[in-house]
Amino acid sequence: MKSPWHRAFLALACWGAAAVAQAATPILVVHGGAGVIAREITPEREREVRAALALALQKGYAILKAGGASLDAVSVAIGTMEDSGAFNAGRGAVFNHDGRNELDAAIMDGATLRAGAVANVHTVKNPILLARAVLERSPHVMLVGEGAEIFARSVGMAPAEAKYFYSERRWQELQQALKEEREKDAASRNPPHHGTVGAVALDARGRLAAGTSTGGITNKRYGRVGDSPIIGAGTYADSRCAVSATGWGEYFIRATAARDICARMEYRGDTLAEAARAVVMDVIPRLGGDGGVIAIDDKGDIATPYDTQGMFRGWVDAGGNAHIAIFAQK
C-alpha cells in the first residue's frame, strides 16, 4: 500500500506534467482586411493603417504577456481597431445603400466552443464587445438588429450617434457606388473594399480564441449579413485551431471556410499552413470569391494566406517581436 507521502508525490508529478503540457508561448495575429490595391494606398493611408495595427498588437499582446486569456487579447485587439477609424469596422465602417453603418461581429473561445455574435447593429461603438457579452451573458449565440441593440442597452452599453461612425472617405465610397449603380457601370462583380478586422490568439495556457468585426460591403441592401458574424464561416476556434476571415463573405459562408480549415487539420491531418492555403487559394476561388484569413494552431504556428493584391496584417511572434505587412513578403 502506497503511503500518503508517495501518493502526494505522484499527484504533484502529474500536476507538473499537465502544467508543462498546457504551457505555451503566447502568439497574437491581427488583420485589417484583404482586398488592398497597391495603386490606391497612399503613404498617409499606409502610415495610418500600420499605426493602428501596431497599437492593436501592443494592447492585445500586453494581455497575453501578463498571463491573460486569449479571449481577452482578441477582444482588446479588435476593439482597438474598431476605435481607430482606420478600418471597415466600428468607427469608420462603410455605409449601406441607405447611408447607414450596419455592423457585424463574432468571437469564439476555442477551449470551450462558446461563441457570441451580433449582426446589423447601428449604434454599438464596439460590436466585438457586444458579441463578447452575448457569449458571456446570453443563452444565445447570435443576436441581430433591434434585438441586439436592446441587449446592448441591457448590459450597459450606451448607444452611439450616427456621427460617431461617420467617415468622409467611406461616404464618398458610397456616393461612387451609387453613381455606378445609376449608370449601370459597375466595373466588376466583386464587391469593393473587403475591409474587415480580426484577431486570433494563443495564450500561455494553450487556449485559442478568434474574433472578427466588420461594416460589411459598401452599398449593401436588405439587411445583408456576411461571413464575419457566422460561426464556422468567418470566425471559428477550437482546441487546435483559430481562424478569422476577410473577403467576399457570401463565398466564405458557402464554404464554411473558417471551420473547414480546422476540420482539415482534425480529419485529414493537414498542417495549419496546408489547410489555410487550400481553403483560401483553392476552395474560395473555385466558387468565385476571394479574400484571406489569419489562423493560428495550438503549437503557435501561424498562417496568413490571401489571394488579393494585399491584406493588412500583423503578428507578434514567439520571441515577442511585432511584424506588420500589407503586400507579399519578399
The kind and range of the H/E element at 244 are strand 241-247
Catalytic residue status for 112: no
Q: Mapping DSSP to helix (H, G, I), strand (E, B) and coil, where does residue 22 land? A: helix
Q: DSSP for 44-100, please give it.
A: HHHHHHHHHHHHHHHHHHHHHHTT--HHHHHHHHHHHHHHHSSSSSSTTPPB-TTS-
Paired sense of beta strands 142-144 and 241-247, if any: unpaired
* Catalytic residue (choose from 25, 42, 123, 196): 196
- Spatial distance between the Cα atoms of 246 and 33, rounded to a whole number of angstroms: 6
- Spatial distance between the Cα atoms of 112 and 229, rounded to a whole number of angstroms: 18
Q: Is the dihedral of CA 311, 90, 171, 234 positive or negative?
A: positive
CB atoms within 10 A of CB 247: 30
CB 308 within 8 A of CB 34: yes
Active site residues: 196
